[in-house]
Amino acid sequence: MREYVMCAIGLNGEYAKMHLADIPAEQWTVQPEGLNMHPASIVAHLVACNDFILVGAGGQPTLPEAWAKFADCPDAAAEAADYPSKDELMSAFESTRARLIEILQQAAPEQLAEPTEEKMREIIPTQGALLVMSLTIHDAIHLGQLAAWRKAMGLPIHI
């Protein structure tokens, strides 16, 4: 079963790279009318959540403490200058994602069965479920937001 999950995770990663690579750095904080997010807010959110999950899985935080504020749902409430650069965000996205994938691939079944924090346990009961949810459903939700942003900006949506 793990190989099927890994296939879906890989497809999400490729979709993200394809849809982020061609966005000029100066457009990363552009917010089209009617949308309350932009690529920087979306990627910063994914990165902050990945780091949170890594810590929950027993790892050490790897991001600057100031990035924790991006764990809230992605919206463009922060000033454009508050966001890290495109290069910083892409590097952090790729590294935190790679670490989550590594944990998922290498974890023993009993590690994946460990409970999540009490506040999320009713919806996402185990560390394994949290890892899979984060790398599949959570990423896909926010990549859908990115597709909406691209459409609003007149950029192509790759399938």
Per-residue pLDDT tens for 75-126?
Answer: 666 677 889 999 999 999 999 999 988 888 888 899 899 999 899 899 999 9
Report how far residue 50's alpha carbon sits from residue 46's, in angstroms, rounded to the nearest whole number: 6
> Which pair of tokens denotes residue 82?
């508050």
pTM above 0.75, yes or no: yes
What does the pLDDT read at residue 16?
Answer: 94
| CATH for 2-152 (1.20.1250.20, 1.10.10.10, 3.10.290.10, 1.20.120.450) | 1.20.120.450
What does the pLDDT read at residue 44?
Answer: 93
> Which pair of tokens denotes residue 21?
């690579």
- How do residues 131-148 score in pLDDT, each as one tens digit? 999 999 999 999 999 999
**Taking a C-beta distance cutoff of 8 angstroms, is the pair 52, 131 a contact?**
no
Nearest residue to 92 (alpha-carbon basis) of 151, 48, 133: 48
